[in-house]
C-alpha cells in the first residue's frame, strides 16, 4: 500500500471550492448556481494548473444553456469575487486563469448585481419609478384643500363680475330648483287665455309688427260687407239667378205619344215617335 499522498490539481481544487460555495449560499442567492455553472464549463477547458482556458462565449452559452450576455455577466461576477482572471487577446477568444479562493467564504452579495441587474429589469424598474412619480404628482396635496374663510364668504368670484349671488339658488344636483314667482300663469279677466294670433304677423315682440297679410278671396255666394254705406246687404247668389232665368223660359211642349219634352217651338210628336209611327201597322197609324 502506497503511503504517498496524492497531490490535488488546481483545477480539481477550484472545482471543489466553488461547489462548496454553491451549497453554502445557493438557497439564499439562487443566481450563484448559474454563475458557478459557467465557471465549471470554463474549468473543463483549463489545464491541471488552471491555465490555458479559452472557450468562446458562444460555446459557453451553448454548454450552459443561456445567452452570451448571461455568460458575460457570470464572468464579471467570478472576476469580482476573485476566483477567475481574464486576459484578452487580439482577434481571438479571451484566456481565462482559475484562481483558488481564499478561506472564509466569498462575498457573492457584493458582486451578484452584475448577474441580476439586466437591461430588462433596469428598464422595468425605471418604468415603475416613473409611474409612481406621476401618481404622486396627480394626488392632491393637503395644502390644496380649500378651507372656508372666517367671514363665511366664498373666496371664488363668479364669472361675469363681483355681483352678489341672487336670492333664488341655482339648481344643485339632488335639490330641485325653486319655482320663480314670474313663472306662475295668471288667468285673464274673461277667464280664458287670450293668445295673440301670429299668422300674418311677426311673432317676435321686439320687431316692428307687420300689417295684415292679404286674405284669400271670399267664395261666391258668401256675404260681403258694403263699406260704402252704413247698412249691409246680401250679395245675389248665382244659383238663384240661374233658377230665375230658367223659370222665365216658356214651358216646353211634350210629345203626345211618349211625353218627353220637345225642343223649343215644337209641338205634337217627337222625331222618334214620328219615325216609329211611319213604319208601324196601318191600324196603329190611323189610331
- Which residue ranges make up each domain of the chain? 10-120, 250-287
CB 106 within 8 A of CB 82: yes
10-120 — its CATH code? 1.10.10.10
- Read off the pLDDT of residues 152-190 as tens digits, 9 standing for 90 and up: 555 555 555 555 555 555 555 665 566 555 555 555 555
Sign of CA dihedral 75, 78, 84, 86: positive
Sign of CA dihedral 245, 251, 253, 254: positive
How far is the C-alpha of 110 from the C-alpha of 77, rounded, in Å?
9
Mean pLDDT, rounded, of the chain: 76
* Environment class of 269 (CB within 10 Å of its CB; exposed 0-12, middle 13-18, buried 19+): middle
Ramachandran angles phi, psi of 244, nearest 5°:
-65, -40
pLDDT computed for residue 202 by the predictor? 54
For the chain, residues with pLDDT lower than 70 are 1-5, 140-236, 281-287
How far is the C-alpha of 274 from the C-alpha of 278, rounded, in Å?
6
Question: 3-state class of 37 per DSSP?
Answer: helix
Amino acid at each position: 500500500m502506497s503511503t504517498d499522498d496524492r497531490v490535488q490539481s488546481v483545477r480539481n481544487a477550484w472545482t471543489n471550492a466553488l461547489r462548496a460555495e454553491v451549497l453554502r449560499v445557493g438557497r439564499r442567492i439562487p443566481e450563484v448556481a448559474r454563475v458557478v455553472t459557467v465557471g465549471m464549463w470554463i474549468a473543463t477547458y483549463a489545464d491541471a494548473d488552471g491555465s490555458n482556458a479559452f472557450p468562446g462565449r458562444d460555446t459557453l452559452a451553448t454548454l450552459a444553456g443561456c445567452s452570451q450576455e448571461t455568460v458575460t455577466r457570470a464572468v464579471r461576477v467570478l472576476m469580482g469575487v476573485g476566483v477567475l482572471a481574464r486576459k484578452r487577446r487580439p482577434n481571438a477568444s479571451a484566456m481565462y486563469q482559475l484562481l483558488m479562493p481564499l478561506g472564509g467564504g466569498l462575498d457573492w452579495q457584493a458582486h451578484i448585481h452584475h448577474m441580476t441587474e439586466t437591461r430588462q429589469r433596469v428598464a422595468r424598474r425605471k418604468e415603475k419609478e416613473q409611474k409612481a412619480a406621476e401618481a404622486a404628482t396627480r394626488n392632491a396635496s393637503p395644502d390644496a384643500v380649500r378651507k372656508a374663510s372666517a367671514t363665511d364668504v366664498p373666496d371664488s368670484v363668479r364669472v361675469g363680475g363681483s355681483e352678489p349671488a341672487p336670492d333664488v339658488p341655482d339648481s344643485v344636483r339632488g335639490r330641485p330648483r325653486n319655482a320663480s314667482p314670474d313663472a306662475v300663469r295668471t288667468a285673464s279677466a274673461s277667464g280664458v287665455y287670450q293668445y295673440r294670433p301670429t299668422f300674418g304677423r311677426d311673432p317676435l315682440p321686439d320687431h316692428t309688427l307687420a300689417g295684415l297679410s292679404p286674405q284669400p278671396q271670399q267664395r261666391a255666394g258668401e256675404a260681403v260687407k258694403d263699406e260704402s254705406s252704413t247698412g249691409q246687404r246680401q250679395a245675389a247668389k248665382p244659383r238663384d239667378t240661374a233658377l230665375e232665368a230658367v223659370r222665365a223660359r216658356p214651358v216646353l211642349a211634350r210629345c203626345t205619344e211618349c211625353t218627353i219634352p220637345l225642343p223649343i217651338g215644337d209641338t205634337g210628336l217627337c222625331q222618334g215617335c214620328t219615325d216609329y209611327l211611319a213604319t208601324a201597322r196601318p191600324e196603329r197609324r190611323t189610331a
